[in-house]
Chains A and B, each alone.
Chain A
């Protein structure tokens, strides 16, 4: 437990959502590790169990100078990353008013060499609006995925990141 008394105001709240088997937990693991590598305090939390038999899955990642609760307070997500289009509406309530929704339509699916990397492509989009340096994201992907998957996922990450940067410039 962190003993310091610092305030929590700087905490970034991200909720990942999708269906069992889509890599929701993998995506949140990568994001949490990237935040760790960037030197932040970080907490990540989700519900395992029955939810993984194709049902809805969500995972919370929070990072900043000091994080207390491992769960994003209801309706206070800064960013909601949804991997399954049909899970957007059931999870929208988690997003704060001016929060950012990151959804699959931002990605050119035809450009994805491996469809299973959609979760990582969305991380690429997320990375463009986070203060975590790209090298930390890359390192986190390396730590959480088997070596033979690295190339496809780096490509997916870049695809998402460029799409987001293009959008930001517009």
Chain B
């Protein structure tokens, strides 16, 4: 390989490059660690990509584009697929036309997530094929393969990545070979795309037929790798676990699964029989081991203690030697903090002074749960702050209920807070409720992405702007305040107190830019004004 062809890319960058090289016409998504850089890089590379308000909308836009024969991809973190699950399950029935690749970036170990759900279950539940690359080279190759599979079987394909694939940089050799694609076009296919029961019943059968065909294809020519080594130990693995395992047991025999759903169970059974001891090494849930056992092949798995957190070379060594002793706990580093001057600081200072019961949400402002404030008391999923606040208000005795507030960031509000406000107007608690929308002008936590409320696109061009206060009024909230929480902290605190005392429905938009983004926002706005 010529040195100049060697690129050092993260898995996210490799996926983006492959999407460009494959002629993906539209990529959509919603930010979320560790997936965010895929869409950002795709746009940097000149592709057409756009942030959607949330993952469900992102997937729906992609489904439409795919019905129009365009090649499309959708990116999100693992929990994003919960939001997008509804369209995914039925898109598997409705035949796509252009490729539709759904990227789920899982976060075992929860480097930056609220749970470590294992999205391999989604492939089975929705009935869509799944590919799992082990490094950036495979991230590149499997993205291209996912597109081929999607167009061959007219089905969405799940490209499942994990943190150490997304964010590890490894060497990629990526020859640019763009296909000749025809212009997107539309042909109605009512019986195949209108999923009323009469059409969905045969569609489900068609889906199972495709999965059976794909399973045969995977057995014969799927992207799976068998390495004949020492026959005393055979290891079945996928994704980055392969890298850890190959290093932990360099002499063992390996069966590395690249397409993990539908699994190549016959090939796996043959491999398992060919070795004395066969162990499945997988991160997260005992998913592959259960499926292999259910197919009648005896294999060993891991002790339940290794279900938690990421795997690494040391943990794989322990699994292989049945070591269940307590693992050394590394010293705790310094926890993150709200930046000095962060506008969220003023908000939590006031809420703490007022003794509020704060129902929280996800974003930088989640750090309000940690010292010095320890003011935010719940975090479940994006948008939940409003619903949870309402629930508490409905059931608590009045004097406690009146202290409940919901805090939610601007990007999170657009993502999934709007329906919570509708609920608030439709089912108001007896003592009203107070929602604080922390509008710092960006999606700070994931690295300052634009969103509909900033009025700028992913590449910072002017576009339609969602004016949050107008929307809140349109929903039917009478008491709407827009205030800078840091300019006059006492004034801000008094306003919150006044809203709480009013026993009405109130929304306070605490508007002040994130200190890390403020300079860039100012500069962008100046450029846009001059245009």
Contacts and interface: CB of A to CB of B under 8 A. Distances in A.
A53 B243 contact: no
A36 B6 CA distance: 8
Given A45-B164, A49-B33, A56 B135 contact: no
B334 A70 contact: no
B171 A36 contact: yes
Contacts of A50: 111-112, 336, 367, 445
Interface string B312-345: 1110000000000000101111111111000000
A94 B453 CA distance: 44
User: Interface residues of B: mostly helix, strand, loop or mixed?
Assistant: loop
Band of interface residues on B: 35 or more
A71 B311 CA distance: 10
A143 B87 CA distance: 42
B138 interface: yes
A48 B243 CA distance: 21
B33 A68 contact: no
A55 B336 contact: yes
B6 A46 contact: no
B137 interface: yes
A93 B333 contact: no
Given A49-B111, A73-B314, A43 B334 contact: no
A42 B244 contact: no
Nearest to B107: A49
Nearest to A45: B168
A32 B331 contact: no
A54 B330 CA distance: 19
B250 interface: yes
A7 B250 CA distance: 8
Contacts of B334: 19, 54-56, 86-87, 90
Contact of A93 (B330, B337, B338): B330
A14 to B, nearest CB: 14
B364 interface: yes
Nearest to A71: B312
B327 to A, nearest CB: 9
B526 to A, nearest CB: 21
Interface string A73-112: 1110000000000110111011000000000000000000
A50 B334 CA distance: 11
A8 B245 CA distance: 13
B116 to A, nearest CB: 13
B307 interface: no
A69 B33 contact: no
A117 interface: no
29 contacts: A7-B250, A8-B247, A8-B250, A20-B336, A32-B8, A36-B6, A36-B8, A37-B3, A39-B3, A42-B8, A44-B8, A45-B169, A47-B111, A47-B112, A48-B167, A49-B33, A49-B34, A50-B112, A52-B336, A53-B336, A53-B337, A53-B338, A69-B244, A71-B168, A73-B247, A73-B312, A74-B314, A75-B314, A87-B334
Given A47-B167, A54-B337, A71-B168, 6 more contacts: A36-B171, A44-B168, A49-B445, A51-B111, A54-B336, A91-B331
Interface of B: 3, 6, 8, 33-34, 111-112, 134-135, 137-138, 163-164, 167-171, 227, 240, 243-244, 246-247, 250, 312-314, 328, 330-339, 364, 367, 445
